[in-house]
Amino acid sequence: MMLSSKLRDLRKKHGLSQKELAEKLMTTQAKVASWENGDSVPDISYIAKLTVLYDVSADYLLKDGKQEGQTIEPG
């Protein structure tokens, strides 16, 4: 799963609108929409805030295809 999809899914799972999330992160709704559309990526300070807000790891957000709590077996 791509970062943009994870961000959208987590926001919806937590019952937040883009505007509400933007307010929590002290940013704009347009920026949140841009992340969720895959037009841009959040900088590291927003990644840190998102991990706390959603109680997920940065690895989960940033690694494509990995589910939270899932381990990837070596080769």
Write out the chain's pLDDT in tens, 75 residues.
Answer: 799 999 999 999 999 999 999 999 999 999 999 999 999 999 999 999 999 999 999 999 999 865 555 544 444
pLDDT at residue number 75: 44
Q: Which of 19, 7, 4 is nearest to 51 (CA)?
A: 7
CATH code for position 52? 1.10.260.40
**35 inside domain:** yes
Residue 71 within any structural domain of the chain:
no
To the question of pTM greater than 0.85 for the whole model, the response is no
The whole-angstrom separation of Cα 58 and Cα 46 is 11
CB contact at 8 A, 35 and 29: no
SS3 57: coil
How many domains, the chain? 1
Buried b (16+ CB within 10 A) or exposed e, 16-40: bebeebbeebebeeebbeebbeeee
